[in-house]
Amino acid sequence: MTVSLRAFSAGCLIALAAGFSASAQHEFITVASTTSTEESGLFGHLLPAFTGASGIQVRVVAVGTGQALKIGEHGDCDVVFVHDKTAELVFVARGFGIDRHEVMYNDFILVGPRSDPAHVDGMKDIVEALRKIAAARAPFVARGDDSGTSKAELRFWTEAGISPKAAEGGWYRDTGSGMGPTLNTAAAMDGYTLSDRGTWLNFKNRQNLMILVEGDHRLFNQYGVMLVKPEKHPHVKQDPGRRFIEWLISPAGQKTIADYKINGEPLFFPNAKG
């Protein structure tokens, strides 16, 4: 090998090493969030815009809200972005999170088969609709995964005065899974289920399912974001985590959320107050 060729090879190796080093040092944060933000396609639209503006990459752990909050409690993420305001406020009050901000909202909907054996189509009262489903012993598919959607559904059953898990007849089924798989199961069974609207709009395997109940004020679905408390977990990436939160609630972040639509219909509505 000639001297010039050796020099060229050495230069290439140095350049490659520098590239690998830069890649390894690229700044990132970990966000524990819900399956609805992932399965709706929102993150695929939102995160590239944030990375382009900040240079910070975001790694998402998409689970149910309850599990996302547990990940935050253990310090295994930097930011929590979920949709159960009561649980979020408890998370902050217990000293696991700080700087909670409301980011956006949509709503829950009751979907079910076109045949509608419980005759709930067009109702505006989610609690009364669940009573009719229980009375008809029509198949109901539940997430059962401690998600924000699952917690909302269980609250509605409680308001209805019904304990579906104790009911006879096997009409109530827990999947223990995310919204997408739960909708797939409901489609296969011609069953009813409670869904967030964002995941539903992005869901392709609807088969005979359709929206049957919507518009009840109790179906309002608020999303909030917060930083995992650095004093509790010193390894939390405080500065880039705050930048992500501040971008989400900024005019640029709010516009990016509003711009995400499917067939012209928005999946989320920004409502940050700061």
Whole-angstrom distance, CA of residue 142 vs CA of residue 127 = 15
- Count other C-beta atoms under 10 Å from residue 175's C-beta: 19
Q: What is the DSSP letter of 74?
A: T
Nearest to 60 by CA among 211, 255, 244: 244
- Written as tens digits, the pLDDT of the chain (274 aa) is 444 434 444 444 444 444 443 444 579 999 999 999 999 999 999 999 999 999 999 999 999 999 999 999 999 999 999 999 999 999 999 999 999 999 999 999 999 999 999 999 999 999 999 999 999 999 999 999 999 999 999 999 999 999 998 887 899 999 999 999 999 999 999 999 999 999 999 999 999 999 999 999 999 999 999 999 999 999 999 999 999 999 999 999 999 999 999 999 999 999 998 5
What's the token pair of residue 121? 């189509």
Whole-angstrom distance, CA of residue 42 vs CA of residue 127 = 29
Whole-angstrom distance, CA of residue 60 vs CA of residue 197 = 21
Residue 2: exposure state from Cβ atoms within 10 A (0-12, 13-18, ≥19): exposed
- Count other C-beta atoms under 10 Å from residue 19's C-beta: 10
Whole-angstrom distance, CA of residue 273 vs CA of residue 181 = 34
- Count other C-beta atoms under 10 Å from residue 208's C-beta: 11
Whole-structure pTM value: 0.86
